[in-house]
Amino acid sequence: METVPIGVSSGTASVLGLKRIRLMEKPTTAHVLFGEDCLNRCAFCAQAKGSRSAPNHLSRVTWPRFSWEALKGPLAAAISQGAFKRVCVQTVECPESQGPALEFLREVREMSPQVLLSVAVTPVSVARVKLFFEKGATNVGLPIDAASPEVYARVKGGSFERAWAVLEKAARLWPGRVSTHLIVGLGETEEDAVRFLARAKSAGITVGLFAFTPVRGTAMEKTPPPDVSNYRRVQLAAYYLKRGGNAEKIELRDGRIASIDLDRTDLRREVLAGKPFETSGCLYCNRPYYTERPGQVMMNYPRALTEQEALEALSECGLASART
Ligand code: SF4
């Protein structure tokens, strides 16, 4: 494999024994990063063109770089021991990222025919998505990030509908294997988020929810993260839709989620256990502390919640229909 340095998220590097940090929660997906100095200008992203963030950052995570030679043995061992059930390749939009990322996928697939393998790439074309599936990806993530055309144009630049067209076409070609990301807190309303989630659901697209986190050096460094109550309501709506709920039954008032019908017994049981507040997205992608620091409110729990945590998260929703 071409010898380019590969970014490895600090949590992943710790599980692999490549970095010594104390982990409060272990990641169950190994995250790696290809490329740097992105050509895109996403206002929230540390890798974006124009960002003054420290290098080797994405979200609030640091990504120390390692050679494939250093990474290969520990990664193979961690996969065979079941420490990682998925590997996710994040790519920065630059000419240098695609070739090595494809090569990495091929190597990992050769290493383990079974391990789940995701890649996250800018939704530019379906032809590009095909390249990643051909190299052994089980899932391709095409992050749209912003919930509405207005927020997309302001925060990312470009056309929301063009990005959705690639996403929806890919989902038709590879049913059940295409996902996207939605970042809550970029200036959208909860109604925008519900519309986004319902659209993704009707196209069979999995959504990974992220809470916006301001990163120093980015254009949005001074924007506060979303209010926990706002995030919890969107999490609850996302879970409700994922588990067969009907978007029409999410009551919206002045752009805000006012109530969600949780009458089904099985759904109610899962909600009371805190399932909606666990990290969402591809299976086994738990992303511990991706958007929050240890000790802060956990926007996404990387594990099952305790009874107390579930009750707190539910009451943070501030919805009468979500109370016990
Ligand atoms: S949900 Fe997780 S595993 Fe899936 S593409 Fe996003 S970051 Fe990768």
Using 50, 70 and 90 to split pLDDT, how confident is the model at 294? confident
Residue partners of 93: CB distance under 8 A and separation at least 6: 35, 38, 39, 40, 122
Q: How does pLDDT run across 259-280, given as a tens digit for each residue?
A: 998 887 788 899 999 999 999 9
- Residue range 55-63: average pLDDT? 74
CATH number for the domain whose boundaries are 6-322: 3.20.20.70
Ligand 1 neighbour 183 (Cβ under 6 A): no
Helix (H) or strand (E) holding 270: helix 265-272
Nearest CA to ligand 1 atom 2: 285
pLDDT of 105 higher than 90: yes
Q: How does pLDDT run across 110-161, given as a tens digit for each residue?
A: 999 999 999 999 999 999 999 999 999 999 999 999 999 999 999 999 999 9
Ligand 1 neighbour 208 (Cβ under 6 A): yes
In the chain, count H helices and then E strands: 10, 12
Distance 141 CA to ligand 1 centre (A): 6
- What is the spatial distance between Cα 317 and Cα 259, in angstroms, rounded to a whole number? 10
Ligand 1 neighbour 143 (Cβ under 6 A): no
For the chain, which residues make up each domain, given as ranges?
Answer: 6-322
Structure tokens at 281: 């997205």
Residue partners of 251: CB distance under 8 A and separation at least 6: 257, 258, 259, 260
pLDDT of 170 higher than 70: yes
Nearest CA to ligand 1 atom 1: 281
Q: DSSP for 158-197, please give it.
A: S-HHHHHHHHHHHHHHSTT-EEEEEEETSS--HHHHHHHH
Structure tokens at 257: 């989620």
92, 35 in Cβ contact below 8 A?
A: yes
Using 50, 70 and 90 to split pLDDT, how confident is the model at 324? very low
Q: What is the pLDDT of residue 243?
A: 94
Q: What is the pLDDT of residue 323?
A: 47
Whole-structure pTM value? 0.94
Q: DSSP for 62-130, please give it.
A: E--EE-HHHHHHHHHHHHHTTS-SEEEEEE-SSTTTHHHHHHHHHHHHHH-SSSEEEEE--S--HHHHH
Left if phi > 0, otherwise alpha if psi is -120 to 50, otherwise beta: which for 197?
alpha
Q: What is the pLDDT of residue 173?
A: 98
